[in-house]
Amino acid sequence: MKTKLFLLGALLTMTFASYAQPTTSWGPKLGINFTSYAPRAESFDVLTGLNAGLFLNHSINTNFGVTVEANYSQFGTRVQNGGNIERIHYIQIPVLAVYYFGQQGEAFRPKLFAGPYLGILAGSTDKGGNELSNGQQVFNTADVGGQIGAGFNFRIKRETWLNTDVRYIRGFGDITKEPSTSYQNAGVNINVGLSFPIR
């Protein structure tokens, strides 16, 4: 069901593209995550992690676009009791509908965006880098959720842009295989990237 919701959201955001003359760009991005579990508990604290990957942006017209990303993203939480951490490693694929303020040709373009993501589990580790397990996998193999955020694009030279954004990320379903608990991923990340045109 979660995968079907993700695919539906991705399809809806991508169908914009057939209605105007497109421009397409790509680039690398690097960011930092501040995450924990939802609902929050007294024993959980914010964990800092890495977010890095590539993006492909399809601008439908001067104000609307669709961005697809492929990121390695670290989620999880800091466990106050015992001072350990639970770090969850994902390959995360967001599909975002983007609204750009201003007009094409302007050097500074604020933006708002939102859309679904699919996270594919790549591993889970503790503070020492050891795999988290109790003789079996601790976390579900997929995580589906949503992202919403704001940022700006700043032209640093012709057709090359500096991209920055801040986004809130929230999972929709339980990430654990433990039947007695139910937690979702939640957090904020800050990203910086460079955008290059595709000819």
pLDDT in tens, 62-118: 899 999 999 999 999 998 776 799 999 999 999 999 999 999 889 999 999 999 999
43 phi and psi, to 5 degrees? -80, -5
pLDDT, position 19: 44
The number of helices, as runs of H, and strands, as runs of E, in the chain is: 1, 9
Q: Which carries the bigger pLDDT value, residue 9 or residue 157?
A: 157
pLDDT, position 17: 41
Residue percentage of the chain with pLDDT more than 90 = 71
SS3 112: strand
pLDDT, position 18: 42
Query: What's the rounded mean pLDDT across residues 168-182?
Result: 92
Measured over the CA atoms of residue 23, residue 27, residue 32 and residue 34, the dihedral's sign is: positive
85: Cβ–Cβ under 8 A, 6 or more apart, which residues? 47, 76, 77, 78, 79, 126, 127
pLDDT in tens, 110-150: 999 999 999 999 999 999 999 987 656 789 999 999 999 99
pLDDT band at 7 (very low <50, low <70, confident <90, very high): low
39 upstream amide cis, omega within 30 of 0: yes
